[in-house]
Amino acid sequence: MSIFTQPIEWDQSIIQRYDLAGPRYTSYPTAPQFQESFSQSALFRAIVRSNLAHRPLSLYFHIPFCESLCYYCGCNKIVTNNKSRSLPYIHRMIQELALYAEMFEPGKEVQQLHWGGGTPTFISDEEMSLLMNASRRLFKFADDETGEFSIEIHPGTVSTSTMAHLRQLGFNRVSMGVQDFDENVQRAVNRFNSVAQVADMVHALRKQDYQSISMDLIYGLPLQNQQSLQQTLQQVIELEPDRLSLFNYAHMPHLFKSQKLIRAEELPGAGEKLEMLHHAIETLQRAGYVYIGMDHFAKPGDELVNAQQSGKLQRNFQGYSTHSNCDLLALGVSSISMIDNVYVQNEKDLNSYQQKMDMGLLPIAKGFTLNQEDLLRRFVINRLICYCELSFHELTRLFDITAQQHFRSELAQLQPMAEDGLIQIDDNGIKVLNKGRLLIRRICMVFDEYLQQTDNNKTIRYSKII
Three-state secondary structure of 185-246: HHHHHCCCCCHHHHHHHHHHHHHCCCCEEEEEEEECCCCCCHHHHHHHHHHHHHHCCCEEEE
pLDDT at site 342: 98
Sign of CA dihedral 434, 440, 443, 444: positive
- Tell me the β-bridge partners of 243: 214, 298
Q: 52-88 burial, b for 16+ CB within 10 Å, e for fewer? A: eeebbbbbbbbbbbbeeebbbbebbbbeeeeeeebee
Q: How far apart are CA 395 and CA 198, in angstroms?
A: 46
pLDDT at site 452: 77
Rg (CA), the chain: 22
CA distances from 392 to 314, 416, 432, 439 (A): 19, 20, 14, 21
Sheet strands (E) in 256-403: 290-293, 296-298, 314-316, 319-321, 327-331, 336-339, 342-346, 364-369, 389-391
In the chain, CATH 3.80.30.20 sits at 27-331
In order along its 466 residues, the chain shows pLDDT tens digits of 578 888 999 998 999 899 888 898 999 999 999 999 999 999 999 999 999 999 999 999 999 999 999 999 999 999 999 999 999 999 999 999 999 999 999 999 999 999 999 999 999 999 999 999 999 999 999 999 999 999 999 999 999 999 999 999 999 999 999 999 999 999 999 999 999 999 999 999 999 999 999 999 999 999 999 999 999 999 999 999 999 999 999 999 998 999 999 999 999 998 899 999 999 999 999 999 999 998 899 999 999 999 999 888 988 888 898 888 899 999 999 999 999 999 999 999 999 999 999 999 999 999 999 999 999 999 999 999 999 999 999 999 999 999 999 999 999 999 999 999 999 999 999 999 999 999 999 999 999 999 877 554 455 777 777 7
Kindly report the average pLDDT of the chain as a whole number. Answer: 95
pLDDT at site 453: 78
Prior bond of 106 cis (ω within 30°): no
3-state secondary structure of 57: strand
CA-angle at 320, arms to 16 and 327, nearest 5°: 140
Strands 57-63 and 109-117: parallel
pLDDT at site 457: 46
Torsion region of 56: left, alpha or beta (phi above 0 gives left; psi -120 to 50 gives alpha): beta
Which class would CATH give 1-26+373-466? mainly alpha
pLDDT at site 454: 56
In the chain, CATH 1.10.10.920 sits at 1-26+373-466
Strands 140-141 and 243-248: unpaired
Q: Give residue 236's Cα distance to chain centre.
A: 21
Q: Are 274 and 258 in contact (CB under 8 A)?
A: no
Q: How far apart are CA 34 and CA 13, in angstroms?
A: 36
- Its pTM stands at 0.95
Q: How far apart are CA 321 and CA 339, in angstroms?
A: 16
pLDDT at site 459: 57
Which class would CATH give 27-331? alpha beta
